[in-house]
Structure 1
Amino acid sequence: MVCPRCVMAVEGLLKSMKVDFDRVELGQVLFSHTPEELFLKAFEEKLAVLGFALARSRESVWVETTKLALIDLLEGEGDLKREAPLSELLSQKTGLPYSRLSQLFSSFEGMSIEQYFIGLKIEKAKEWLSYETLNISEIAWSLDYSSVQHFSGQFKKVTGMTPSQYKKSNEKSRMFLDQIGEAR
């Protein structure tokens, strides 16, 4: 779950299943009591219909926590121009050494944390280019690129076109942030 509508959908599902829960947050449900396995199976099936999955292993929870932390950072709940390195931030969020987290992430997602974060940043750039809210220099700066050239090069490597070409294009394909990595 990566948006308020996702939270509302899961809350609605839980209410329709008449189950007690404390709250639903991005990526997690806090239950009043430990749910029974029979409920979890039914809940998992209904989540799948909504396009969500239930994370059952510690490893998958760490990977999802990493993805949510990166999305939060990108969506403004963090500071892209942060003082601490990204590796330190993610280690703090998950409680794992970055080397272990990086290995887990790669094995679960088939890409590195850095590749995933680049994908998130490029999707955010595509959003801003589509809505023409920022110019290319402002986008590069907002996404913490060292230069417009670096941003443009990375954008072209990921999308096959420059930011200017994308902006002028009639076909502006985009992905939801929670779908980054699924197309690989």
Structure 2
Amino acid sequence: MVVKAELEKLNIPYTYVKIGEANTIGEISQEQSEQLDIGLKKSGLLLMDDKRSILVEKIKSAIIELVHYTDDQIKVNLSDYLSEQLNHDYTYMANLFSEVKGTTIEKFYLTHKIERVKELIVYDELNLSEIAYKMHYSSVAHLSNQFKKYTGLTPSHFKKLKHKRRDTLEDV
């Protein structure tokens, strides 16, 4: 809504606006770009026009959508999924992501999976077997091993803790 309002205020025609992306019709002037940037910053948003940064943000968004907001299991491996979703060679995306973020796509993905598992543990609506199934782990043991590797705690020990439960998505 904020992006649409700013585009309309500056009379910049667009075809669509969705989370993390807006497609404008034609070129926008330097002055319009600067005004848009100022307007977006007032709302805590950033204008990104660097193609590399945009692709990294699209990779992050695709992973976050997959892990946190979709219950579907992808039918292919993560590299094929991202290549298909973003229309780029995975090797290029992996190298770019590592260069920009200082971590691998796989590590980013697994970190988000563990954060989602933490969330499900805290909600206390599913047992560990159900969480493992929902998060597409091959077994509870696999989930527990990966959880311990990333958090230093077993899932049951984590559940007993009353503090330091989860990180925000922005901190992951």
1:167-178 matches, within 5 Å, as 167-178=159-170
Q: 2:2, 2:96 → 1: CA distance?
A: 29
Query: Which blocks of at least 5 consecutive residues in structure 1 are unaligned?
Result: 1-7
TM-score normalised by L of structure 2: 0.84
The structure whose RCO (Cα within 8 Å, separation 6+) is larger is 1
Moved over 4 A (4+): 12-20
Secondary structure in structure 1 of the residue aligned to 2:17: strand
1:152 aligns with 2:171: no
1:23 aligns with 2:16: yes
Would the aligned equivalents of 2:10 and 2:32 in 1 still touch at CA under 8 Å?
A: no
Provide the aligned length of Structure 1 versus Structure 2: 172
Write the letter of the residue equivalent to 1:86.
Answer: L
Would the aligned equivalents of 2:67 and 2:112 in 1 still touch at CA under 8 Å?
A: yes
Percent identity over the alignment is 34
- When the two chains are superposed, the root-mean-square deviation of aligned CA atoms in Å is 2.4
* 1:104 Cα deviation after fit: 0.5
* 1:44 Cα deviation after fit: 2.6
Q: 2:20, 2:107 → 1: CA distance?
A: 21
Which of 32, 39, 51 is 1:58 aligned to? 51
1:122 aligns with 2:87: no
Would the aligned equivalents of 1:166 and 1:172 in 2 still touch at CA under 8 Å?
A: no
Q: How far does the alpha carbon of each residue in 1:21-75 deviate from its partner, in whole angstroms, 9 at most, with x for none?
A: 4432121012345332222223334434544332222222221111111122123
Q: How far does the alpha carbon of each residue in 1:103-143 deviate from its partner, in whole angstroms, 9 at most, with x for none?
A: 01100111000000011111111211121122222112211
Would the aligned equivalents of 2:122 and 2:165 in 1 still touch at CA under 8 Å?
A: no
Q: 2:71, 2:32 → 1: CA distance?
A: 35
Aligned pair in 2 of structure 1 residues 44, 158: CA closer, same or farther (>3 Å)? Answer: farther
* 1:76 Cα deviation after fit: 4.1
Would the aligned equivalents of 2:158 and 2:165 in 1 still touch at CA under 8 Å?
A: no
Aligned pair in 2 of structure 1 residues 84, 13: CA closer, same or farther (>3 Å)? Answer: same
Flag the structure with larger Rg. Answer: 2
